[in-house]
């Protein structure tokens, strides 16, 4: 693994219930890069908080990413819907594109996130 890898401790895995999301930040060369983790059906996934239509954050309401029915991640700007488990856009302007996945691992019950290479 590269020595300059940027890693963040997101929090405890058991604090993120199914259907919940939590935002966190990477800092790269003095710039903040937002990301979020979600628990979808008991599985944790994380993505950069950056729509694939226009590269802007997706939560107008802080930390609100899910559609009302909890089926999709939705960008508040133009309504693009992404699958929570894959990050694939299935509706909206960036149809077919994928959110940038943040690799996660668990260490002693804590979620550790690595800044993706293509951030
Ligand atoms: S910026 Fe997200 S759908 Fe347009």
- Tens digit of each residue's pLDDT (9 = 90 or more) over 5-22: 899 999 999 999 999 999
pTM: 0.95
Q: Residue 98's pLDDT is what? A: 98
Please tell me the distance between residue 92's alpha carbon and the centre of ligand 1 in angstroms.
8
Residues near 119 by Cβ (< 8 Å), separated by ≥ 6?
A: 26, 28, 33, 48, 100
What residues does ligand 1 touch, defined as CB less than 6 Å away?
A: 51, 53-54, 56, 75, 77-78, 80, 92-93
């Amino acid at each position: 693994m590269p020595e300059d890898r940027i890693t963040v401790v997101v929090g405890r895995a058991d604090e993120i219930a199914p259907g919940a999301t939590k935002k966190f930040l990477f800092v790269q060369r003095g710039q903040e890069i937002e990301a979020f983790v979600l628990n979808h059906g008991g599985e944790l996934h994380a993505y950069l908080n950056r729509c694939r239509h226009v590269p802007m954050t997706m939560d107008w309401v802080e930390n609100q990413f899910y559609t009302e029915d909890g089926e999709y991640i939705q960008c508040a700007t133009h309504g693009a819907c992404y699958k929570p488990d894959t990050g694939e856009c299935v509706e909206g302007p960036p149809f077919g594109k994928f959110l940038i996945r943040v690799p996660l691992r668990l260490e002693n019950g804590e979620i550790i996130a690595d800044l993706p290479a293509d951030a």
